[in-house]
Amino acid sequence: MRATRVQPFRRVTINSGDTAWLLACTALVLLMTPGLAFFYGGMVRAKNVLAMLMQNYVCIAVVSVTWVVLGYTLAFGDGNGLLGGFRFFGLAHSSEPVPGFSLTVPPLLFMAFQLMFAIITAALIAGAIADRVKLGPFIAFVAVWSVVVYAPLAHWAFSPGGWMAHLGVLDFAGGSVVEINCGASGLAVALVVGKRMGWPREAMPPHSLPLTLLGAGLLWFGWFGFNAGSALHADGLAVNALVATHLAGVGGMLSWLALERWRTGSATTLGGASGAVAGLVAITPSCGFLEPLPALVLGMLAGAVCLFAVQLKFRLGYDDSLDVVGVHFVGGVLGLLYLGLCATSAVNPAVTHEGLLYGGGAWLLGRQAVAVLAAGSFAFAASFVVAKAVDLVLPMRVSEEDEHLGLDQALHAESAYDLGSVRTMGRLS
Amino acid sequence: MRLVTAVLKPFKLDDVKTALEAAGVQGMTVGEVQGFGRQRGHTEVYRGAEYQVDFVPKVRLEVLVDDADAARVVEAIVTAASTGSIGDGKVWSVPVDDVVRVRTGERGPEAL
């Protein structure tokens, strides 16, 4: 997010180029959620793929409702440093300028663009709790979480009125709000619902890596809207963000592939996709503040660090099924801290203090660390409480029998694949 | 009559089928199966975590033959399927009491 000094009552002047760009970006970011659904869907076992797709797609529906009613106003309405106010409740006054921003697009478009971020952050959590949670309680969790966890964090970091923005924290497209948030929240819910039956003794390999690779490609494509769109203008800063984003994805893919080839003897498709996503995660907070080559280096670092981070769950014993912590939390932390080293006003005049390696000292690094700690601990604690509360009212975990049968049949009365030529289904009843 | 069953490396199926046809065998049944013998399984790696896969893909082939042809058919399979490396599989034959051709009701060697 481009930090701008607070000018609450500036008139909105619409620029058609910016508006066209942000309209396209809104659609691009929406596409990331189906992309994520397939990225995750390929990684689960064949008996749970529909349930995983469903948990992702349903976030589009649920968060859209909570966002227009409450989430948007709590994130971007005029309030204090901790929380927005209620002026935009139910999209009231939605043509008024958004406090703190000098938008050149209709404020309603800004609302829709931000909605897509809230949706995918919720959907990301589903990866940490794959294969064992009922749909109804998941929807309840997401509905509450999007208001009490996501909206405040979005206010802190994205709204110029939020305390992080005031402190001088840099977070261009959501290293804290999206990546650290989904990772810490995912870990909290995974601890509440417990491990999958048989984990980690039993191997639970991905059932369709082609789906995962397709999903990773869609994510990468959509990420251009996510990051370059966060410039909120169709300008040079957006171009810098797009180039930095691409290079970080490339760097992550290359370093993950090289390291696993060296360590295990094989470069894997899942590794290539995971490395690209790790690089894209790390560049999310930083794409609007880094020069292209430091972005490539950050991507390479992210691929290497996340490859080791995804092994931690086996040592520590938490079942973060699809590595939301290892990739998104760790990648988000890396990207935010890296800004403390390499942010430069040569890319973005909003950088008031250069990074450590650009002669700015530790001023920025310290603030980035505060953002990491605050976002991580708030998201973890608040999500833990929300998940516990939901679990008390609506038990989240499926029965052992249903978990063994697979969520597709048990919850949705469907099977993803019927590849045999023998007719195994009965007649229409 | 005897039932000859062979568990083979999948890529050898075509050679075995050709050899059996050359030996005068009129029909066969094949299925994809999983298993292991002395070869054991293999290792797969997902995000750095290595998993031991105990069962490896094999093809199971079954042929019903007359007693007189059994030894020759087993020999044909063994010759065609052999690569000399571990995991080539096994061939065995067992006696069969009765065989019926479903279309005509013919029984015994007539039905082969």
Is A9 part of a structural domain of the chain?
Answer: no
The verdict on B68 touching A (C-beta cutoff 8 Å) is no
Residues A161-212 have pLDDT tens digits of 999 999 999 999 999 999 999 999 999 999 999 999 999 988 899 999 999 9
**Minimal Cα–Cα distance from B55 to chain A, Å?**
13
- 8 Å CB contact of B48 and A266: no
Q: How far is A308 from chain B (nearest CA, A)?
A: 8
Residue whose structure tokens are 């075995």: B16
For residue A108, pLDDT beyond 90: yes
Contact call for B47 and A271, based on CB within 8 A: yes
Q: How far is A422 from chain B (nearest CA, A)?
A: 14
Which candidate in B46, B51, B55 is best for mutational testing of the A interface (most A CBs within 10 A)? B46
Give percent of chain A above pLDDT 90. Answer: 93
Query: Cα distance from A417 to chain B (closest Cα, Å)?
Result: 18
Q: Given this model, what pLDDT does residue A318 score?
A: 96
pLDDT at B79 over 90: yes
What are the structural domains of chain B?
Answer: 2-111 (3.30.70.120)
CB atoms within 10 A of CB A413: 8
Q: Is residue A4 part of a domain?
A: no
**B47 CB within 8 Å of a chain A CB:** yes
Mean pLDDT value across residues B67-75? 95
Query: What is the average per-residue pLDDT within A244-262?
Result: 97
Distance from CA of B52 to the nearest CA of A (A): 8
Reported as a single tens digit per residue, the pLDDT across A296-334 is: 999 999 999 999 999 999 999 999 999 999 999 999 999
All residues of chain B having their beta carbon less than 8 Å from the beta carbon of residue A310 are 47-49
In a domain, A420, yes or no: no
Residue A262 pLDDT > 80: yes
Residue of B45, B47, B50, B54 to mutate for A, most A C-beta atoms under 10 A = B47
**pLDDT computed for residue A261 by the predictor:** 95
| Chain B residues lying within 8 Å of A307, measured CB to CB | 47-48
Largest Cα–Cα distance of chain B, in whole Å? 59
- Quick check: A225 pLDDT over 90? yes
Nearest to A260 among B44, B48, B53 (CB): B48
Q: Which of A264, A274, A308 sits opposite B50 (nearest CB)?
A: A264
Outline where A96-208 has alpha helix (H).
Answer: 107-125, 135-145, 151-158, 163-167, 181-193
Chain B residue closest in CA terms to A273: B47
Instruction: Give the mean pLDDT of chain A.
Output: 95
Q: Where residue A331 sits, what CATH number does that domain have?
A: 1.10.3430.10
Q: What single letter denotes the amino acid at residue A403? A: E
Q: ipTM of the assembly?
A: 0.70
**Residue A199: how many CB atoms within 10 A of its CB?**
18
Which residues in B lie closer than 8 A to residue A205 (C-beta atoms)? 44, 46, 51
Check CB contact of A271 with chain B, cutoff 8 Å. yes
Pick the residue from chain A with its C-alpha nearest to B47. A271
- Please tell me the distance in Å from A95's CA to the nearest CA on chain B: 47
Taking residue A94's Cβ as centre, other Cβ atoms within 10 Å add up to 17
Chain A residues near residue B55 by CB distance under 8 angstroms: none
Residue A423 lies in a domain: no
Task: Let me know if residue A419 belongs to a domain.
Answer: no
Nearest by CB to B45, from A266, A308, A314: name it: A266
pLDDT band at A420 (very low <50, low <70, confident <90, very high): low
For B99-109, what is the mean pLDDT?
94
Question: Which residues does chain A have within 8 Å of residue B44's beta carbon, measured at their own beta carbons?
Answer: 203, 205
Q: Which of A131, A191, A27, A135 is nearest to A394 (CA)?
A: A135
pLDDT of residue A10: 53
Total domain count for chain A? Answer: 1
User: Residue B49: its pLDDT value, please?
Assistant: 82
pLDDT at residue A1 is higher than 70: no
Q: State how far the Cα of A223 lies from the Cα of A30, in Å rounded to an integer.
A: 10
Cβ–Cβ contacts within 10 Å for residue A357, how many?
Answer: 14
Does any domain span residue A100?
A: yes
Mean pLDDT of the region A128-140: 98
Q: In chain B, what residues touch A255 (CB-CB under 8 Å)?
A: none
Does the structure show a pLDDT above 80 at A424?
no
Residue B54 pLDDT: 85
Contact B48 A270 (CB under 8 A): no
Residue A148's φ and ψ, nearest 5 degrees, are: -95, -15
Asked, for residue A429, whether it belongs to a domain, the answer is: no
* Amino acid at the residue B63: V
Q: Quick one: pLDDT at residue B50?
A: 81
Quote the minimal CA–CA distance from A260 to chain B in Å: 7
Whether the predicted pLDDT of A425 surpasses 90: no
pLDDT for position B44 = 84
Closest residue on chain B to A259 (Cα): B48
Residue A421 lies in a domain: no
Residue B57, beta-bridge partner list: B34
Report the pLDDT value the prediction gives residue B112, as an integer from 0 to 100.
87
Those residues whose C-beta lies under 8 Å from the C-beta of residue A392, and which sit 6 or more positions away, are: none
What torsion, rounded to 10 degrees, do the Cα atoms A394, A396, A399, A400 define?
-160
Residues of B in contact with A314 (CB under 8 A): 49
Q: Averaged over A372-396, what is the pLDDT?
A: 98
Higher pLDDT, A428 or B62: B62
For B8-27, the pLDDT digits (tens) are 999 999 999 999 999 999 99
Of the candidates A205, A206, A264, the beta carbon closest to that of B48 is on A264
Give per-residue pLDDT as tens, A11-64: 668 999 999 999 999 999 999 999 999 999 999 999 999 999 999 999 999 999
Comparing CB atoms, the residue among B45, B47, B52 nearest residue A323 is B47
Q: Which pLDDT does position B28 carry in this prediction? A: 94
A352-363: average pLDDT: 95
> What is each CA distance from A180 to A211, A380, B33, in whole angstroms?
25, 9, 45
Q: Mean pLDDT over residues A208-235, rounded?
A: 98
Cα distance from A146 to chain B (closest Cα, Å)?
30
Host domain of residue A298 = 16-412
The answer to whether the beta carbons of residues B89 and B7 sit under 8 Å apart is yes
